[in-house]
């Protein structure tokens, strides 16, 4: 039985049709492993700031949305190159 780490689980949720590629990349590439972890942390931070009423919430939300998109682009690049 393989235990799916929470960092890769978030990526699998976003790209369910690429599960095989994601699991393989996660096992084979330390860089992809790190990107998945960054993606998880960014998603959690974005969720936090989306719920927040703090005065800096809008600024933080915008920063994390941009970072989230950059990480998505990076994940897509890995997936496209793995075909």
In a 3-state reduction of DSSP, which class is residue 8? helix
Report how far residue 81's alpha carbon sits from residue 14's, in angstroms, rounded to the nearest whole number. 18
Taking the model in full, what pTM does it have? 0.87
pLDDT at 35 over 60: yes
How high is the mean pLDDT of the chain? 91
Contact 15, 79 (CB under 8 A): yes
pLDDT value at position 25?
94
């Amino acid at each position: 039985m393989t235990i799916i780490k929470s960092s890769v689980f978030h990526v699998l949720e976003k790209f369910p049709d690429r599960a095989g590629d994601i699991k393989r990349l996660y096992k084979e590439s330390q860089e992809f492993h790190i990107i998945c972890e960054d993606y998880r942390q960014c998603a959690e931070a974005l969720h936090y700031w989306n719920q927040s009423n703090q005065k800096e919430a809008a600024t933080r939300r915008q920063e994390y949305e941009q970072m989230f998109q950059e990480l998505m682009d990076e994940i897509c690049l890995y997936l496209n190159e793995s075909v």
